[in-house]
Amino acid sequence: MKRSVLTRYRVMAYVTAVMLLILCSCMVAKYGFDTGADLTFAVSQAHGVLFMIYLVFAFDLGSKAKWPFGKLLWVLVSGTIPLAAFFVERTIRAEVEPLVEGAPVGARA
């Protein structure tokens, strides 16, 4: 497996997780304090597009790493749970790093 597959997934996992946290903050402002409706709309649209890209990259990584369906589903759903993507990304990176071409034998960071 190429390193770029893992890198794409990692970047999108972080971007999606950060955007979800921003979206949650905007939702609190919108519904809790009745402000920021336009910002919430823009952030939700951006998060939706980025989440679709995350799904494609996570599915690509999962198919190349030959994950069972349950694990793939958990990785895909982790992008919808605030903070979960940060922890799942770290676990996935540790598991997939040895599968990357040219990775040193003890490749765990």
| Residue bearing tokens 């960071």 | 109
Task: Report d(CA 24, CA 53) in Å as an integer.
Answer: 20
3-state SS assignment for residue 37: helix
Q: Is the dihedral of CA 62, 87, 17, 103 positive or negative?
A: negative
| Residue bearing tokens 């823009």 | 42
* Full pLDDT tens readout for the chain, 109 residues: 788 888 999 999 999 999 999 999 999 999 999 998 999 999 999 999 999 999 999 999 999 888 899 999 999 998 888 888 899 989 998 888 888 876 555 555 4
Supply the pTM of this predicted model: 0.84
